[in-house]
Copies of this chain bind each other. A is one copy, B any other.
Amino acid sequence: MQRAEPQEFSRVLSSMCTEPHPTAREAAEQFLASNPGDPGTYGTVSTLEREAVDRLGTVAELADPAGYIASGGTESNVQAIRLARNRADTRTPNFVAPESAHFSFRKAAGVLGVELRTAPLSDYRANLDAVAELIDSDTVCVVGVAGTTEYGRVDPIPALADMAADAGALCHVDAAWGGFVLPFTEHAWSFADADIHTMTIDPHKMGRAAVPAGGLLARGPELLDELAIDTPYLESTSQMTLTGTRSGAGVASAAAVMDELWRDGYGRQYRRARSNADWLAAELDDREFEVVEPALPIVTVDLPARLIDDLRDAGWRLSRTEAGEARIVCMPHVTRSMLAEFLGDVDRLAE
């Protein structure tokens, strides 16, 4: 392993993951050798998983949550569409999601054989009229995004949930990244705010757990029963996860870090990220670049393509929206001094 350097975050602006919190890292190392996919054999980590799910329920304002710690947002999104498909009574199922939905919903559509109907946006959020037009009697789920990947926007979740209910469909909220930020905002996104059925909310993004620790929540256990298959050989008897063997490290780190940071620690983290995003947006605006007003701590700015390339050559990990804008995700490892250094390079290279 001589060539393996530790992961260096000092120039990473592109990732929705971050350095695990020290408490998360310690727990992950302690549970590296356990498998929550085999709860009969690995009992302690199963208890921790139950605690982690309960805590996620608290974050998302759901008492007695059903759910589990998944490999990440993709698995949770696939599982939400899978359970909606399985409970519906149609041979030609579809689901409706805004164009801003994460690409994992396209993966879900392909894997599961469920048609994905994408609704156009208005001001970066799902256009409700367009969603309504796409829903029909074969619609098994309506998806809303609470913190979009590109612009950090929050769809009108309560209205989407109402539309789903009218159509007899489920409503799934993708708060994979937003879930540990939104409790400190005025947005309506949670199980208390709307009659939603399932949610993706990932401890290993803004929750600062170690990868892999995604989260799937469901309003009741009967929804997850749609996913269960029998499991011979294991001491337990059924399995609802998409994967089989799972990471005890991820589960234990999620339980530990949420125990430590919920609620004040995450609140402080949000305010710091928010302040950094607002500052960066103002600085870029001062330089007459076109900035999309940040709703959550993600800054999207229309930089010249050549400047983006030059910044990447200078070592900045920077990703782009489909429209070509640069996108800076203000994760906990993204400090004010790091952003100042980035701006310095923007100034130097833009000349």
Contact = CB atoms under 8 A, between A and B. Distances in A.
Interface of A: 1, 3-7, 9, 12, 14-15, 17-20, 23, 25-35, 37-38, 40-42, 44-45, 47-48, 71-75, 78, 82, 86, 103-104, 106-107, 110-113, 149-150, 202, 204, 210-212, 214, 229-235, 239, 242-250, 252, 255-256, 259, 317, 319-322, 327
A343 B150 CA distance: 60
A2 to B, nearest CB: 10
Contacts of A86: 110
B40 A317 contact: yes
Contacts of A246: 71-72, 211-212
B33 A20 contact: yes
A41 B25 contact: no
- In the complex, the count of this chain's copies comes to 2
Given A33-B210, A82-B111, A231-B103, A27 B1 contact: yes
Contact of A244 (B104, B248, B249, B256): B104
Given A7-B42, A244-B104, A235 B317 contact: yes
Given A73-B244, A243-B243, A245-B212, A41 B28 contact: no
B5 A249 contact: no
B33 A4 contact: no
Given A40-B319, A231-B103, A247 B211 contact: yes
A3 B30 CA distance: 12
B35 A15 contact: yes
B41 A26 contact: no
Contacts of A25: 32
Nearest to A79: B111
A35 B248 CA distance: 17
A346 to B, nearest CB: 18
B252 A4 contact: yes
B33 A211 contact: yes
21 contacts: A1-B26, A3-B44, A4-B252, A4-B256, A14-B38, A17-B38, A19-B33, A25-B32, A28-B32, A29-B32, A32-B211, A33-B210, A71-B212, A73-B244, A75-B242, A103-B229, A107-B229, A149-B233, A204-B245, A212-B247, A232-B321
